[in-house]
Amino acid sequence: MKIKTIFGWLVILLISLIPVYLWARLGPGFAELVDYASITHALGEIFGLVGITMFAMTFILSTRIKWIEDVFGGLDKVYITHAILGGTALILILAHPIFLVLKFVPSQVYQATLYLLPSSYWSVNFGIIALIGLIALIFITLFTRMKYHKWKFTHEFMGLVFLFAVFHTFLVRNSAAKDNIFAGYFIFAAIVSLIGLFGFSYSLFIKNRLFKNAVYSIKSIKQKNDLFEIIITPEHKPISYDAGQFVFLRFYNKNVSKEAHPFSIASESNAEDIIIIVKQLGDYTSKIVHLRKGDKVSVEGPYGRFSYKKHLKKDQIWLAAGIGITPFIGMAQDVMTDEDLQGKVTLIYSAKSEDELIGSNIFYDVSKQTSKFAFLPWLSKKQGRINAKAVFDISGKFKDKEFFLCGPTAFKESMIKSLIENKVSKNHIHEEVFDFR
């Protein structure tokens, strides 16, 4: 894990623990933990405060702000952090009411039951609504296969759930709580509320109004079987990007959802026209056939830190499968003219047959023009499933080499496991994850 990422996690941890410090310093503190009832009640308060703080920070992580991406090493890593933080927040928020009522168990079970049910205290009711809403939305994320645009719509209700949680944190002091949580509690609650509401509002309402996305139009579309090569050209100023990055595209065609989706750039760095290659895999990509030359395209980005340029002095192994070859197309073209590259790049591309090798003409051409690049297709119908042993046989020793992977989840998981089993450190394995759900 890189220093910036460690620093990012430390900041998250420290911010999450601020309410614990405030509770200990300005509230009853640990000296008041004298019996079962006071301990369980205190833990309930602490879990709730830490949980709502983490909940607020998840909205900041979902803003796609560039400096946050820099800290965690790519937007995919930011969303992984977002998922971990959100899951932890849910666990703590679930523990909040449980520990608050444990003080009534076993002597006052009926009182404990009433505490968890809707009542005349709206402060408690708001907390119950927030908890049920959070559980429902997390369940949808983890255990359903809802279409992306519908899932995205449901996820926007997270802001409403957070708002109910905010009402709970402000109103509970006047009804259900039996002690002073800590001096300045309302100031702390206000700051946490503003952080969460700002993050949510920025993503949903503010960002697209303050920062206009680049406007492109479709220059050409070529179809081969279930693959589409789409070239988009800028209407005004083109964006700057590195090969291997990705962008969120929103196509303006009445037959295609206007929901923005991520696509790898298959062009060399900073080319004026952007090439993307799309495979018909799901509900959204099946609509790509309706796109036409001249359709407007909104381009947000670029994002991602999937780049060979951070390891120019080392030999590199690029491992791709299926549509995962797309970021390597532009990267290979960069290699051809990169005078700073000192190591050698070996691209091993796994496909079922030669007919399914995307961009092979480009890779063969690059390999002819520079000795720094070697292209080795792996045809699984003839050679079987690729693994670390096969990679070793092709490329030689793994020591001091960097590995870049892109492809279906099963391919990446299998390859990463196989490489680690063959003593390759995780720090030398690089991948990009596009499943942001």
Query: What does the pLDDT look like over 242-260, one tens digit per residue?
Result: 999 999 999 999 999 888 8
Break the chain into its structural domains and give their ranges.
3-210, 214-303, 309-431
Residue 81's alpha-carbon distances to 72, 230, 348, in angstroms, are 8, 32, 30
Average pLDDT (182-203) is 92
Contact 252, 258 (CB under 8 A): yes
pLDDT (0 to 100) of residue 104: 75
Structure tokens at 21: 């410090």
Fold of the CATH domain 214-303: Elongation Factor Tu (Ef-tu); domain 3 (2.40.30)
pLDDT value of position 331: 96
Least confident piece of the model among 86-90, 103-107, 338-342: 103-107
Q: Which residues fall within 8 angstroms of residue 185, CB to CB, at 6 or more apart? A: 22, 27, 173
pLDDT reading at 34 higher than 60: yes
Q: What angle do CA 17, 19, 22 make, to 5 degrees?
A: 115
Residue range 263-276: mean pLDDT, rounded: 95
Note the pLDDT tens digit of each residue in 289-309: 999 999 999 999 999 989 999
Vertex 380 angle, CA 379 and 381, to 5°: 95
- What whole-number distance in Å separates Cα of residue 435 and Cα of residue 76? 8
Q: What is the pLDDT of residue 395?
A: 84
What is the C-alpha to C-alpha distance for residues 397 and 305, in angstroms, rounded to an integer? 26
Segment 313-333 mean pLDDT? 94
* pTM score of the predicted model: 0.83
User: Is 309-431 CATH 3.40.50.80?
Assistant: yes
The answer to whether 279 and 226 have CB atoms below 8 angstroms apart is yes
Same fold, 214-303 and 309-431: no
Dist CA 234 CA 314 (whole Å): 35
Residue 212 exposure: Cα atoms within 13 Å on the Cβ side: 6
